[in-house]
Amino acid sequence: MRKKLTIALVAHDHRKADMVDWVIFNSDFLSHHHLVCTGTTGGLVRDALNEEGVFPEITCMNSGPMGGDAEIAAMVVRKEIDLAVFLIDDLNAQPHEATVTAPT
């Protein structure tokens, strides 16, 4: 049996639809792992996977602007995240973007 990974999923507003598409495409793989998401992204991911009949363990942090990016960044630093997928909107800077792009 393969190791259960903890996978962080974060998507800026203009990339949320791309994250939903990516999650659906990878739903079989993701169904075996624990997902940690920022708030809004987590709700969209949960809804999309549930519609596909996939029900992985999902933990939703705060939304990005309310500290969710920082919560996930702290988990990365503590080595609680095995894989992080960040879909950043290059054309529209986010006020909390420094948290996402800070070196860890």
Which tens digit of pLDDT belongs to each residue from 62-85? 998 899 999 999 999 999 999 999
- pLDDT on residue 71: 96
Beta-ladder partners of 57: 34
CA 87, 75, 99 angle in degrees (round to 5)?
50
Average pLDDT taken over every residue of the chain: 89
* Residue pLDDT, tens place only, 4-60: 999 999 999 999 999 999 999 999 999 999 999 999 999 999 999 999 999 999 999
Active site residue 13: no
Q: 102 near 74, Cβ under 8 Å? A: no
Which residue is catalytic, options 69, 82, 89, 90?
A: 69
Write down the domain spans for the chain. 6-89
Instruction: Supply the CATH classification number for the domain 6-89.
Output: 3.40.50.1380
